[in-house]
Amino acid sequence: GAGVSQSPSNKVTEKGKDVELRCDPISGHTALYWYRQSLGQGLEFLIYFQGNSAPDKSGLPSDRFSAERTGGSVSTLTIQRTQQEDSAVYLCASTLGGGEYEQYFGPGTRLTVT
């Protein structure tokens, strides 16, 4: 079946503008995660949603970052007043849940803040 999809694949924005990144998880997956990966670096956890529970926002680096998940499916990561240090690849992943831990990653959105 279809995997995790993300859009856009690339986004170039000017410093100070807001951006929205979208993630479509695998159908039926109950958990959804956002990570940030700077060039040549590891995977930095940002936020995760599990079913109808309150999201774990412990990884969000500042209050300029927020995310929502509508209807238990699609998620949007919003970055307000973008800064150059926000430039990175933003990866989304989803998990079936119910004791299944494997995370399936999307292709990522490469964000460049100029």
Partner 1 sequence: GENVEQHPSTLSVQEGDSAVIKCTYSDSASNYFPWYKQELGKRPQLIIDIRSNVGEKKDQRIAVTLNKTAKHFSLHITETQPEDSAVYFCAASPWGAQKLVFGQGTRLTINP
Binding site for partner 1 (CB under 8 A): 31, 33, 35, 41-43, 45, 48, 50, 56, 58, 91, 95, 97, 101-103, 105-108
- What tokens appear for 26 in the block? 């695998």
Give the residue with the Cβ less far from partner 1, 14 or 52: 52
Smallest distance, partner 1 to C-beta of residue 70, A = 20
Q: Which residues contact 110 (CB under 8 A, 6 or more apart)?
A: 9, 10, 11, 88, 89
Smallest distance, partner 1 to C-beta of residue 16, A = 29
In the sheet that holds 19-24, the strands lie side by side as 5-7, 19-24, 75-79, 65-69
The Cα–Cα gap between 111 and 53 comes to: 29
Give the residue with the Cβ less far from partner 1, 82 or 95: 95
- 8 cis-preceded (ω within 30 degrees of 0): yes
Smallest distance, partner 1 to C-beta of residue 48, A = 5
Token pair 């970052």 in the structure block, residue: 65
Give the residue with the Cβ less far from partner 1, 71 or 98: 98
Give the residue with the Cβ less far from partner 1, 68 or 100: 100
Smallest distance, partner 1 to C-beta of residue 104, A = 8
